[in-house]
Chain A
């Protein structure tokens, strides 16, 4: 037997004899998401270090006696959003991930979506509690997540959920339907600067408002994903 034939035979036998360790596809997505999150965090950290060094060098170069206020009040930088790492695997979609965003809210999404808690907006009430987009969106905005909206790809989709205090008039908030639908475009809203699909609903005695923005080139599949992601929202009674 030639070297080549012997190798062919032994490769084949070794491969066939291997008991392949079991793996779940969903675990792979989780692992990948964790690695991406770590990479993102490292990128944010390195950008922070560079900005800090830049700021320090400007501060040192400023003439003595001149106020430092002008440096500190420079233009705001939109930081990447503190996206939430997935905590589990969806029980209904093998490739979807479950995200707990705090405030008693859990939501499922395709693995390439980004999910974030409501921080990063300068609004107190109604309180932003969840942001979801088909791409890695930046945080920031006054009364709406305008940084995310400005960076939305034409084929993307984005929604954010606000929570009203329970003292609010509950008549406006219909009980949550079994399946969400878009309804009609509303607005344009002053904060958002464009029209959105607006949903008002009540779940677990809590009052929510969702704004949905769909990119002009978004596929039907993306639109359908948006509703399925919304349908997956789980609300605990106590935030």
Chain B
């Protein structure tokens, strides 16, 4: 890798690491795991930097990598009750309350696919078509996952949080 490419990569790391870790946090619910996954996503990006550096939206590429890593991580967490317990442990370990633990606990109750779809739709602000393209699913599947995810969230989060629009 030449010096310019090296500098460009380090610049991307400095400006985007936090954003990538935040996406990973919403997907995993674990700040430490999120930071590890973000770091791993950048290592993967570095290995493909010759191609990625030619892309217009390099940050979007890293976001894509971290999302895939997070989905793999989520799928490994077979027992969702353990994930909720992990959230509590992380809360103690970091000695500071996690942002919106209620939201994170509700997200932990979703399937990985539902969780990813909700985060991409409502945090990354992607359209149904973009999410379908990113996840290699049909738009109808993404609509169904969104609807199922929102339904679960309605059932878990306090009802006064939003107007029931069903």
Can you list, as one digit per residue, whether each of A66-107 has a CB less than 8 Å from chain B (1) or not (0)? Answer: 000000000000000000000000000111000000000000
Can you list, as one digit per residue, whether each of A1-45 has a CB less than 8 Å from chain B (1) or not (0)? Answer: 111111110111111111111110101110110000000000000
By the criterion CB–CB under 8 Å, are B40 and A32 in contact? yes
Question: Given the known A-B contacts A6-B162, A19-B96, are A28 and B119 also in contact in the complex, defined by CB atoms under 8 Å?
Answer: no
Chain B contacts for A110, CB-based, 8 A = 1
The answer to the question of A236 belonging to the interface, with a C-beta cut-off of 8 Å to chain B, is: no
The answer to the question of B47 belonging to the interface, with a C-beta cut-off of 8 Å to chain A, is: yes
Can you list, as one digit per residue, whether each of B1-37 has a CB less than 8 Å from chain A (1) or not (0)? Answer: 1100010011001000110011101100001101110
Chain A contacts for B46, CB-based, 8 A = 29, 95, 111
Question: Given the known A-B contacts A1-B163, A7-B122, A32-B43, are A23 and B150 also in contact in the complex, defined by CB atoms under 8 Å?
Answer: no
Q: Smallest CB–CB gap between B138 and chain A, Å? A: 21
Q: How far is the CA of A12 from the CA of B46 in the complex (A)?
A: 28
Question: Given the known A-B contacts A2-B163, A3-B162, A6-B161, are A29 and B22 also in contact in the complex, defined by CB atoms under 8 Å?
Answer: no
By the criterion CB–CB under 8 Å, are B43 and A14 in contact? no
Chain B contacts for A29, CB-based, 8 A = 43, 46
By the criterion CB–CB under 8 Å, are A2 and B32 in contact? no
Besides A14-B25, A15-B26, A25-B39, 5 other CB < 8 A contacts? A11-B26, A17-B100, A20-B34, A21-B35, A25-B42
Could you tell me which B residues sit within 8 Å of A by CB distance?
1-2, 6, 9-10, 13, 17-18, 21-23, 25-26, 31-32, 34-36, 38-40, 42-43, 46-47, 94, 96, 98-100, 103-104, 118-119, 121-123, 125, 150, 153-154, 161-163, 165
